[in-house]
Amino acid sequence: MNILVTGGAGFIGSNFIYYQLEKHPKDKIICLDALTYAGNLDSLKRALSEPNVTFVKGDIADRQCVNTLFENHKPDIVVNFAAESHVDRSIENPQLFLQTNIMGTQVLLDGCRKYGITRFHQVGTDEVYGDLPLDRTDLFFTEQTPIHTSSPYSASKAAADLLVLAYYRTFKTPVSISRCSNNYGPYHFPEKLIPLMISRALHDQSLPVYGKGENVRDWLYVKDHCAAIDLVMRHGRVGEVYNIGGHNERSNLEVVKTILKELDKPQSLITYVTDRPGHDLRYAIDPTKIHDELGWLPETSFDEGIKKTVRWYKENRSWWQSILDGEYRNYYDKMYGDR
Ligand code: NAD
Ligand code: DAU
């Protein structure tokens, strides 16, 4: 089987490539990635030494590049991780999100139509459902929850999902979509909550918590997400959406305090800063469908996953330190300077 993994030099994509190499060592993997600020070939170092992994630098919205790739590598499955993924950046520059997340998905779908594939899998997000109230812990996102987006990021991801479903209905393209809650684990870019807090705490720097830190996210260890995507793209029903999450809800403040405890650092590092505009209150996934149809269940508890993640960041300092020493320094000053 030839598998085209777009965005494979990013956080989840790189973890997914390692998962594939372990689980399906005979499959061939072609990674297409534009190597934006979030893409990092260091994350794929081990994978790129394998004979069945090929890396192609290119933009999913570049039709010629995508078509050439289809002609040269004849993928059976296309799994699309490539995206602009950070909500805060989408508030600064929405246009780029529309270009990559919507137009890029459309170019990939056209490639699938033109050259034929057995499955196009879109890696979606629970953010397309909007948010849930903090005081209604009985409510969860199901696949029937209406799309109700808050940020330019989530609006672009929702548009991409709708296009994917339109290609299924109109052109019979064999598609599937998964919508996952917040991931954490190795190779997570240090602009996102968990790696940001770990890397800053390791430097004894202040930890910028938005608002009162009451917002709730449903955290899933990245390897469990990779296992779920693998199941859906190989065995999930065509034309279907599957929610992925592990009932692991935590307020941001709880997460930050857990990290501080794990690192033996003082709570005085916590600094409350101006809230994110349009900040979603609570995400919580109901994963009944993927459990019932495909037998998926997460294997890593939050307590175990956060310990592993903190250990990984301690043992792989050079991976994130080189990011912090680069262009990221300007990003942090710009985003947090006046907050
Ligand atoms: P990431 O930002 O870490 O990685 C994105 C990757 O896509 C990078 O390697 C980047 O270089 C590449 N990329 C960006 N634009 C591209 C383009 N035009 N062409 C080719 N490559 C391009 O993101 P992530 O956190 O790994 O998320 C991967 C996917 O999973 C995204 O679609 C995201 O919406 C979705 N998702 C993420 C989470 C999460 O918690 N991180 C949860 C649910 C869904
Ligand atoms: O739910 C899935 C989504 O999870 C994915 O689709 C996105 O790609 C991914 O980035 C993530 O989105 P969030 O906005 O939830 O993740 P982020 O790590 O940016 O923020 C998590 C929470 O922490 C959120 O409530 C905002 C808060 N936060 C974040 C940052 C960066 C802070 O309090 N301080 C910060 O500095």
**Each residue of 17-37: pLDDT tens digit?**
999 999 999 999 999 999 999
Query: Encoding tokens for residue 148?
Result: 């109700």
Q: Considering only CA atoms, which of 125, 100, 120, 124 is closest in space to residue 171?
A: 120
Q: What is the pLDDT of residue 326?
A: 87
Q: What is the pLDDT of residue 338?
A: 85
Q: Pocket of ligand 2, candidates 192, 206, 216: which has the most ligand atoms within 8 Å of its Cβ, to mutate?
A: 192
φ and ψ at residue 180, rounded to 5 degrees: -110, 160
Query: Encoding tokens for residue 53?
Result: 């992994």
Residue with CA at minimum distance from ligand 2 atom 30: 193
Active site residue 153: yes
Q: Does the beta carbon of 244 lie inside 6 Å of ligand 2?
A: no
Q: What is the pLDDT of residue 41?
A: 98
Please identify which residue in the block is written with the tokens 């890396």: 55
**Which one of the ligands is nearest to 149 CA?**
2
> What domains sit in the chain, N to C, each tagged with a CATH number?
2-188+219-248+277-300 (3.40.50.720)
Which pairs with CB-CB distance under 8 Å and at least 24 residues apart come from 128-131?
Answer: 128/154, 128/157, 128/158, 128/161, 128/179, 129/179, 129/283, 130/154, 130/280, 131/280, 131/281, 131/282, 131/283
Q: Which of 127, 191, 230, 249 is catalytic?
A: 127
Q: How far is CA 46 from CA 38, 51, 318, in A?
A: 18, 11, 16
Q: What is the pLDDT of residue 332?
A: 94
Task: Report the predicted TM-score, pTM, of the whole model to 2 decimal places.
Answer: 0.99
Q: What is the pLDDT of residue 339?
A: 85
Q: What is the pLDDT of residue 267?
A: 98
Q: Which of 33, 126, 218, 224 is catalytic?
A: 126
CA distance 83 to 66: 15
Instruction: Give the position, in ligand 1's atom list, of the atom nearest the Cα of 80.
Output: 32
Q: Does the beta carbon of 182 lie inside 6 Å of ligand 1?
A: yes
Query: Encoding tokens for residue 250?
Result: 């935590």
Active site residue 71: no
Q: Considering only CA atoms, which of 203, 205, 182, 206 is closest in space to residue 273?
A: 206
Q: What is the pLDDT of residue 4?
A: 99
**By the 8 A CB rule, do 313 and 263 touch?**
no
CA distance 73 to 30: 8
Q: Considering only CA atoms, which of 40, 50, 45, 42 is closest in space to residue 20?
A: 50
Q: Does the beta carbon of 86 lie inside 6 Å of ligand 2?
A: yes
Q: How far is the CA of 153 from the centre of ligand 2 (A)?
A: 11
Q: Does the beta carbon of 9 lie inside 6 Å of ligand 1?
A: yes
**By the 8 A CB rule, do 65 and 99 touch?**
no
Residue with CA at minimum distance from ligand 2 atom 29: 193
β-bridge partners, 180: 125, 244
Query: Encoding tokens for residue 92?
Result: 């600064």
Decide: residue 20, CB within 10 A, 0-12 exposed, 13-18 middle, 19+ buried: buried
Q: Does the beta carbon of 209 lie inside 6 Å of ligand 2?
A: yes
- Ranges of the chain with pLDDT below 50: none
